[in-house]
Structure 1
């Protein structure tokens, strides 16, 4: 979910769209202020206390904000102590999605300049090692069939945030990842994609080929998984066996 400030009257859009825009405004205001009470947010945004609390409750449920008790210098008045709302780390990252990418890219440039491209390759392999172990444990029951293993792998990668799916095609199988958490960094350092492709190959148990990557401007990271081959007894040539019949 990306936060954007949209200049449009709430009265001109459906209720859910209006709610989304109002929460965008709340998030942007909290980003600027750091912390604010419901009353302060309502006053700034021109909303009633009941309206602002409805939005804050929804953002609390989505782990976009968290509360902190407001400290008073003098004697506290009657009633419950006021609570200030702050953005969670995940919400701040959504508002500034490229900040960590910039730090990671700078770090890899530093490594490459001082220790060479080989050090970046080693770093990339180390980064995906833990992912490989988690995926291996999850697909161990998929058997030896590469396509079945690809389907199991897609489920694990989806749980890891890659939004993956596997499908059978005429020449074998295809693993698609619709999200890449390191796309901006991998655009400059393809070693990250290479390391991930090597992991996919080892987990599926066969050679695979990357056909497209989000890092290079494609809409989806697509990996081709060749189907099993047999020899044509007439020509002696290897042919790919269709697995979708």
Structure 2
């Protein structure tokens, strides 16, 4: 939710960067890739950006590709360092056989989505603010950066009602419209708001005040205390915020990423 306009200057909505060899940023010595392959790889990248770690089968189903075709693209992305593969986390009892592999974007893969431009300048500016004004000045700057986004999200949530989980669902839709690839879902202990994209992850890694300001905004918008469980800035695959269940509330499954 950090203010991408002020810190990134690079829009994150619309097609993923990569429609041509020059836009994709092919590294020296990297093999040539056909335009059709680039288009499919861009779609794979966009899905991983929106959904976070995903299995090859899920990617193939979403894109209408055969297992062999999606595996070919994933193997190429693995070789280029754009994705990593790891065993899928299975909660509860698991059947026989090895767990499925999930694929997630690496830092380089996220960089191909047009993110992290101007990071060095933004980091230098915040370091200067910290030196001249202290950590309080950095926190004040972070709060100001998210204030305009808070106003826009609040306006988009006018008809969401007062229930925190319903407001989280509406907030996820508002954040997705802003380019944050967000979704909300319910779990046994309440709800979760997940953001699969952070335009200033590199900056927030050094200045956690940006994440703290964002968490405060989420709390105000959903109308209850929330807890940040994970952030992209700290190396997690997704920014995850827990919304505790309210006493007497009925938990139902709600997803906003479909």
On whether the aligned pair clears a TM of 0.5, the verdict is yes
Q: Is the 8 A contact 1:172 1:242 kept in 2?
A: no
CA distance change for structure 1 residues 4 and 210 in 2, over 3 Å: closer, same or farther? same
Q: 1:155 aligns with which of 173, 191, 200?
A: 173
Per-residue deviation at 1:140? 1.3
Q: 2:236 aligns with which of 213, 218, 236?
A: 218
Q: How does 1:177-216 map to 2 (within 5 A)?
A: 177-216=195-234
Q: Deviations over 1:162-194 (max 9, x none)?
A: 000000111110000000011110000000000
Answer yes or no: is 1:243 the counterpart of 2:251.
Answer: yes
Answer yes or no: is 1:5 the counterpart of 2:26.
Answer: yes
TM-score (norm 1): 0.61
Structure-1 separation of matches of 2:38 and 2:165: 44
Structure 2: gaps of 5 or more residues = 1-16, 19-23, 42-110, 254-258
Match of 2:36 in 1: 16
3-state secondary structure, aligned to 2:192: strand
Structure-2 separation of matches of 1:189 and 1:228: 32
Structure-1 separation of matches of 2:132 and 2:176: 36
3-state secondary structure, aligned to 1:157: helix
Q: Is the 8 A contact 1:170 1:242 kept in 2?
A: no
**Highest CA radius of gyration, 1 or 2?**
1
3-state secondary structure, aligned to 1:223: strand
Match of 2:188 in 1: 170
Structure 1: gaps of 5 or more residues = 22-92, 231-240
Structure-1 separation of matches of 2:246 and 2:140: 32
Aligned length: 161
Match of 2:161 in 1: 143
RMSD (Å), alpha carbons: 2.4
CA distance change for structure 1 residues 145 and 212 in 2, over 3 Å: closer, same or farther? same
Q: Is the 8 A contact 2:176 2:182 kept in 1?
A: yes
CA distance change for structure 1 residues 145 and 193 in 2, over 3 Å: closer, same or farther? same
Match of 1:114 in 2: 132
CA distance change for structure 1 residues 129 and 19 in 2, over 3 Å: closer, same or farther? closer
Between the two structures, name the one with larger relative contact order (CA 8 Å, sep ≥ 6).
2
Q: Is the 8 A contact 2:142 2:213 kept in 1?
A: yes
CA distance change for structure 1 residues 199 and 5 in 2, over 3 Å: closer, same or farther? same
TM-score (norm 2): 0.58
